[in-house]
Amino acid sequence: MVSGAMVGVLKELLADRVVLTDGTAIRFAGALSVPRIAPGSRVTILYTRDDDGEGMLVQSVKHM
């Protein structure tokens, strides 16, 4: 179940997390397959909360 969505500009797409230009870094939920997206692209991220409700886990990343 998705907890929320955010829109931002991609800084880095790493093996375990996505990083936005504002410094926000969100870990991937499990083994997530994300298409190659160029840095500087606007993205929409759907996320859930982790087990303790403190952090976010990426469910999907889409290029806008």
d(CA 56, CA 54): 7
Is-contact 47 57, C-beta < 8 A?
Answer: yes
pTM above threshold 0.85: no
Least Cα distance to 26 among 41, 40, 43, 63 occurs for: 43
- Structurally, the chain folds into a number of domains equal to 1
CATH of the domain at 54: 2.40.50.320
pLDDT in tens, 4-57: 999 999 999 988 899 999 999 999 877 777 888 999 999 999 999 877 767 888
Domain housing 32: 4-63
pLDDT for the residue 2: 82
d(CA 2, CA 12): 22
